[in-house]
């Protein structure tokens, strides 16, 4: 793990990983470079939020800055949310 931020109700972690231990019934989950953790569920991974940061061979997310309605991850990646992006992405919170 390289970075930690906050995005409405979730702790967001970023780094150089390709899988994470869920801590619950799911066991190990393949999630690459950035993931959401649910603090109200013992910090388990929120598998409903997978921003698809690619390519898998890159180092991943180096920094995260979160606001109440926006998340900005930065690092070594060329795609997020299935769209091309160079080292910086923007996620908007939609309730």
Cα–Cα nearest to 61, from 79, 78, 73, 45: 73
Query: Which pLDDT score is estimated for 30?
Result: 85
pTM tops 0.95: no
Query: Which pLDDT score is estimated for 94?
Result: 65
- With a cut of 50, list the residues of the chain below it in pLDDT: none
Cα 66 to Cα 8, 36, 37, 55, distances in angstroms: 9, 12, 14, 23
Query: Which pLDDT score is estimated for 3?
Result: 93
């Amino acid at each position: 793990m390289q970075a930690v931020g906050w995005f409405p109700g979730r702790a967001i972690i970023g780094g150089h990983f390709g899988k994470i231990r869920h801590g619950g019934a799911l066991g190990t989950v393949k999630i690459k470079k950035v993931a959401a953790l649910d603090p109200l569920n013992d910090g388990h991974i929120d598998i409903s939020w997978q921003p698809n940061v690619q390519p898998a061979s890159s180092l991943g997310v180096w920094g995260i800055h979160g606001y109440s309605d926006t998340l900005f991850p930065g690092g070594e990646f060329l795609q997020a949310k299935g769209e091309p992006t160079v080292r910086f992405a923007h996620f908007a919170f939609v309730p």
